[in-house]
A = this chain, B = another copy of it.
């Protein structure tokens, strides 16, 4: 699984573990650092796409870390604080964090905010128009090389998920989660079936490419240059 990488900076092992578990099961890669002094090294080495940063740390303040990182990277940072009123103070200080989470947090909340933060940056960085596949969520239309695809609702949602994270392998379960907002459970074959139809419609428009690849034992991967 090649999910995006989240660096967790948290000195309390139980909490670090908790965060890590949530994120792993949501398909992210994680690395954990418990000491403020080690953060920069881990950052260089792990090259995370996002930071979960506890405010209270041994040897070095989370605030301080946040400031230094901001001078050299625009990686999204989510601050984890123990108390709500801290947040006001942080806002006042003009720390450049992207979001804040208060303890105690719920699994869903953490994952939701991480997703949101990552979605935001992936959006901004895409000058859009660069990918051969364009998704218009509002209009519920998808285009390949300018050609409009005639997709059913499920197909559209699936393609939409794929396009949102090109190159990533999605398990059938993850595809279900993302494509069925009601938390319906369907069989794995159902996904296969829709992928088959989707592939067919994609090939009808651009016969030479096969952008949806099967990954044996894992799921499917979308690769626009496939």
Contacts and interface: CB of A to CB of B under 8 A. Distances in A.
A167 interface: yes
A207 interface: no
A106 B109 CA distance: 17
A209 interface: no
Given A140-B218, A152-B217, A169-B138, A106 B112 contact: no
A187 interface: no
Nearest to A217: B153
Contacts of A165: 138
A139 B169 contact: yes
A168 interface: yes
Nearest to A223: B139
Interface string A192-226: 00000000000000000000000111100100000
Given A18-B91, A98-B109, A152-B217, 14 more contacts: A84-B109, A91-B104, A94-B107, A95-B106, A96-B106, A96-B107, A100-B106, A113-B120, A116-B120, A136-B167, A138-B165, A138-B169, A140-B169, A153-B217
29 contacts: A18-B91, A84-B112, A88-B104, A91-B104, A94-B107, A96-B107, A96-B108, A97-B106, A98-B109, A99-B109, A100-B104, A100-B106, A112-B124, A116-B120, A116-B123, A116-B124, A136-B167, A138-B165, A138-B167, A138-B168, A139-B167, A139-B169, A140-B169, A140-B218, A140-B221, A152-B216, A152-B217, A153-B216, A153-B218
